[in-house]
Amino acid sequence: MSDLVTRVLAGERRALARALTLAENGGPEGQALLAAIYPHTGRAHVVGVTGPPGGGKSSLVNALARIFRQQGKTVAIVAVDPTSPYTGGAVMGDRIRMRDHAGDPGVFIRSMASRGSLGGLATATGDVVTLFDGAGFDLVLVETVGAGQVEVDIAREAHTTIVIEAPGLGDEIQAIKAGLLEIADIFVVNKADREGAQHAARALQMNLELGHKGTSTWMPPVLQTIATTGQGVNELADAILQHRTMLEQTGEWQARIKARLNDELRHILQRELFNHFMARLGPTTYAAVLDQVVARAVDPYTAASKLLTAEP
């Protein structure tokens, strides 16, 4: 194990691939590995890229990776597909990317599927990001499809969140409904070569102004790109780096990390406290009280407080 840790920290690709699988499987080995890597993390700039299916997320991530590589930065790409257990979209995108970055040791691509449990996906994604961070990648680009709670959860892991729209998908409304407007640090209207891009950009801009988005230090820009030709992608890469600079200069970088870790720690505590409590209580006491609730003899609130004070 310690050998694997050393090799991951050295950025060795085969060790990293094995570590990623261990972490994704979520067993005790994976946990021990993550624990050993954790003290060596906190350097990578984590960038979330989310938006509707087919909006051009993979193409854009690919184009961004190319620019960051030209700047001498190393890039890890995580493609998360909560909608399918088979990573249909993610795998398609990966093929294009793998061809584009084939043989470049400064790029590492990993795709992840839901395997039926959406709750675990955000956690698994966080663990994968931790490993890339520990392995020394400068940037970790996390692509997620859709606009549901999983995307919002995953976006919370990112320092910088990019929300992509594309004309003709009818997604402006979808994004706003799902609260993606709230989490975006940068908006991108991709497929700017298509009709309706201008309109989509204006609609987004108006929504931003109406919602008084942004702070005195950051107003989310609305950029237009053509991912397939690379048009506008340099500007997007600049905006990502500017956002990082702003986060660091204002102390937001640390504040965001602390807020996220606070959440994470509380979640773990909640789960562990509950499991601990239930194990101490034993299944018979719980079942008996549940029966009383079902029989309308005791209401759920009273039942809960009875259980909390019950002697095991």
Ligand X SMILES: Nc1nc2c(ncn2[C@@H]2O[C@H](COP(=O)(O)OP(=O)(O)OP(=O)(O)O)[C@@H](O)[C@H]2O)c(=O)[nH]1
Residue 58 in the binding site for Mg ion (CB under 5 A): yes
Query: Among Mg ion, ligand X, none, what does residue 82 contact (CB within 5–8 Å per kind)?
Result: none
Residue 101 in the binding site for ligand X (CB under 6 A): no
Residue selected from 48, 55, 82, 93 as contacting Mg ion according to rule CB under 5 A: 93
Residue 93 in the binding site for ligand X (CB under 6 A): yes
Nearer to ligand X, 34 or 139 (CB): 139
Residue selected from 50, 58, 160, 161 as contacting ligand X according to rule CB under 6 A: 58
- For ligand X (CB under 6 A), the number of binding residues is 17
Nearer to ligand X, 34 or 158 (CB): 158
Residue 225 in the binding site for Mg ion (CB under 5 A): no
String marking each residue 184-213 x if it binds ligand X according to CB under 6 A: ------xx-xx-------------------
- Minimal distance, residue 260 CB to ligand X, in Å: 25
- Minimal distance, residue 47 CB to ligand X, in Å: 15
- Minimal distance, residue 146 CB to ligand X, in Å: 8
- With the C-alpha atoms ordered 104, 49, 247, 243, is the resulting torsion angle positive or negative? positive
Query: Among Mg ion, ligand X, none, what does residue 280 contact (CB within 5–8 Å per kind)?
Result: none
Contacts to ligand X from residues 126-155, by CB under 6 A: 145
Contact positions toward ligand X, by CB under 6 A?
53-59, 89, 93, 145, 190-191, 193-194, 226-228
